């Protein structure tokens, strides 16, 4: 189905290429190819009898317990799952879920983070060893931008590139996010500040765990207090779970295109939910939806600025 002019401009701005190709059989500009005639098979005479096959001499049957017998394999029953083959000495049980980490938040660091300045937060995060992520991190990842940016984006957790550079959203997800912001005339560090729920990279880029989000919460909330956003954009379900009360485990698709309100330190901040850029890398067609979410956030910002 052809795209409209507006859709084509959106897809071009978001860096989306063609998502499908037209089959040659469906192309009206290609000539219709005639079906190739099938060669006729010679008729089989009904009176012709098959040639007799020579019979092999019968083999004597083996006797005793050492006799080998040929047992036909059982045919699988349609719709039935065959049981897993058991290997002696090897457990076939599914791997157990990892036990929750023991989080020991240093009271001194937690109290200091609650009143720290923007510049002091980085040093406090570097001293934090509340959970196991501190043992594998290269850098803590605090923020891109500073107080004064009217829009704040909250992501989930740093990845490999972010861990190496100490800056959020600098890998492929970050490049895509910059393209999305540029497509709606927004820029990180000037119009948008970016932070994450977690300040350290989870091993193997796995999902954040609840106890890890709890360990980082003092830093997240102090960042939001100092940034004082006029509009909040939550990217991904972990950001939603951290800041929206009772999301009821709804999908990001169901939460999009709605105005939520997040209570932050006596202020009600208009909030938008959208996809995480890593999801968009796996599902490029959803980039257009993210583009509209950013426009919705700008619309909310305009209304907030007009109210001031």
Mean pLDDT of 290-308: 90
Mean pLDDT of 60-79: 45
pLDDT over 80 at 4, yes or no: no
The tens digit of pLDDT for each residue in 189-204 reads 999 999 999 999 998 8
At 290, phi and psi to the nearest 5?
Answer: -65, -35
What mean pLDDT is reported for the chain?
Answer: 78
The two three-digit tokens of residue 69, written as one number: 């017998």
Q: What is the pLDDT of residue 276?
A: 96
**What's the alpha-carbon Rg for the chain, to the nearest Å?**
31
Q: What is the pLDDT of residue 53?
A: 57
The two three-digit tokens of residue 24, written as one number: 């040659």
Compute the Cα dihedral for 211, 142, 165, 294 and give only its sign.
positive
Mean pLDDT of 154-166: 95
pTM over 0.75: no
Q: What is the pLDDT of residue 21?
A: 37
Question: Which domains, from first to last, does the chain contain?
Answer: 107-307 (3.40.470.10)
Mean pLDDT of 226-235: 98
The two three-digit tokens of residue 62, written as one number: 């083996």
Q: Which residue would you say has higher pLDDT here, 187 or 17?
A: 187
Q: What is the pLDDT of residue 61?
A: 47
The tens digit of pLDDT for each residue in 251-288 reads 899 999 999 999 999 999 999 999 999 999 999 999 99
C-beta pairs of 4-7 under 8 Å, 24+ apart in sequence: 7/288
The two three-digit tokens of residue 105, written as one number: 């938040």
């Amino acid at each position: 189905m052809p795209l409209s002019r507006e859709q084509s401009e959106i897809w071009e701005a978001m860096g989306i290429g063609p998502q499908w190709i037209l089959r040659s059989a469906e192309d009206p500009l290609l000539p219709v190819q005639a079906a190739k005639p099938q060669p006729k098979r010679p008729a089989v005479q009904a009176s012709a009898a098959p040639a007799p096959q020579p019979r092999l001499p019968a083999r004597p049957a083996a006797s005793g317990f050492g006799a080998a017998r040929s047992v036909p394999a059982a045919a699988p029953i349609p719709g039935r799952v065959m049981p897993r083959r058991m290997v002696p000495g090897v457990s076939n049980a599914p791997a157990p879920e990892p036990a929750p980490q023991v989080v020991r938040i240093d009271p001194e660091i937690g109290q200091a983070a609650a009143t720290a300045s923007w510049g002091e937060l980085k040093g406090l995060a570097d001293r934090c060893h509340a959970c196991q992520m501190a043992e594998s991190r290269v850098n803590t990842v605090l923020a891109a931008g500073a107080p004064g940016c009217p829009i704040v984006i909250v992501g989930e957790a740093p990845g490999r590139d972010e861990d190496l550079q100490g800056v959020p959203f600098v890998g492929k997800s970050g490049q895509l996010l910059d393209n999305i912001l540029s497509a709606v005339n927004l820029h990180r560090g000037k119009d948008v500040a970016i932070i994450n729920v977690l300040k350290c990279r989870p091993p193997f880029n796995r999902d954040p765990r609840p106890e890890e989000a709890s360990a980082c919460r003092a830093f997240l909330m102090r960042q939001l207090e100092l940034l004082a956003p006029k509009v909040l954009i939550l990217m991904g379900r972990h950001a939603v779970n951290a800041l929206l009360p009772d999301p009821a485990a709804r999908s990001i698709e169901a939460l999009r295109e709605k105005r939520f309100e997040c209570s932050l330190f006596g202020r009600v901040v208009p909030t938008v939910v959208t996809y995480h850029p890593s999801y968009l890398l796996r599902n490029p067609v959803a980039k257009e939806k993210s583009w509209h979410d950013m426009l919705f956030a700008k619309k909310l910002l305009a209304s907030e600025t007009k109210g001031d």
